[in-house]
């Protein structure tokens, strides 16, 4: 039950990020939406940490260490990419156009990583049969 609630939030974050990319030309709105998505994602990680024992008890995560490790590694990489996004995004805003291409490439990479985090969460915390 707890895992499902987290996965619903995870889906909303992916959807929010898709909207944020769609409106990237409206810079102020893009920054607001992306900031909200990143803050919500970090808050989600905290919620998962706090209810960790309940999730591990109710799921197969303990029997499938590989799936959990893959999922956590992708999730951690995503958060590292958020730092790159903030750095390159701020550089573009301050008029440094050489960062635009980098921000774009890192942006699509971050988005793909975030989708993979969502997808692998189903594999990592499948409910116990």
CA distance 104 to 89: 9
Is there binding between residue 92 and ligand HEM (CB under 6 A)?
A: yes
Structure tokens at 39: 């803050």
Q: Pick from 5, 19, 27, 54 the residue near ligand HEM by CB under 6 A.
A: 27
Q: Which is nearer to ligand HEM, 35 or 47 (CB)?
A: 35
Tell me the chain's radius of gyration from C-alpha atoms: 16
CA distance 79 to 82: 5
Please report, as ranges, the residues that interact with ligand HEM according to CB under 6 A. Answer: 17, 21, 24-25, 27, 30-31, 34-35, 38, 82, 85-86, 89-90, 92-93, 100, 103-104, 107-108, 110-111
């Amino acid at each position: 039950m707890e895992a499902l609630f987290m996965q619903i939030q995870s889906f909303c974050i992916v959807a929010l990020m898709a909207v944020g990319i769609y409106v990237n030309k409206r810079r102020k709105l893009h920054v607001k939406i992306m900031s909200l998505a990143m803050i919500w994602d970090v808050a989600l990680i905290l919620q998962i940490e706090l209810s960790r024992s309940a999730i591990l008890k109710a799921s197969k995560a303990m029997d499938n260490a590989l799936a959990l490790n893959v999922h956590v590694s992708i999730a951690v990489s995503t958060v590292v990419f958020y730092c790159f996004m903030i750095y390159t995004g701020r550089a573009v805003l301050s008029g440094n156009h050489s960062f635009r291409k980098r921000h774009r490439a890192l942006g699509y990479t971050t988005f793909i990583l975030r989708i993979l985090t969502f997808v692998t969460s189903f594999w990592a915390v499948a409910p116990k049969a």
